[in-house]
Amino acid sequence: MLPTPHQSPQAAVVPVQRTSSRDQAGPWHSEAVCRRDEAGLFFAPSKEPTAARLSREQAAKRVCARCPVLVECREHALLQPEPYGVWGGLTAAERRVMLARRRRRDTEPVQSAQVSRIA
């Protein structure tokens, strides 16, 4: 769930997952390791110094690395897209890069097909 203008990113909650094969055993986020950790580890406080942010993000990524639903969490964050926090082992900046790569990859076949039609 995206934070509203009156809600800080720290208060964001993992939303209910849409229908998937995991729904038979419950939504993916019910198995997330981060549900047992402090949300502050995954979301930056305002005006956080760079060194503290990098340290906090690395600690959050260590939690993600042992999570059984890392892939589902990452895909959720990419599909939403989640603008804040560490989701699926990726920071917001890393997710933006991944989304840009996906967009380029998804448009390359279309562009090359158009070029071959012109030639």
Flag whether 34 is marked binding. Answer: yes
- What's the Cα-to-Cα distance from 87 to each of 69, 71, 83, rounded to whole Å? 11, 10, 10
Flag whether 73 is marked binding. Answer: yes
- 87 has which bridge partners? 90
The helix (run of H) or strand (run of E) holding residue 109 is: helix 92-118
Residue ranges of the binding site: 34, 64, 67, 73
**Binding-site residue ranges for [4Fe-4S] cluster:** 34, 64, 67, 73
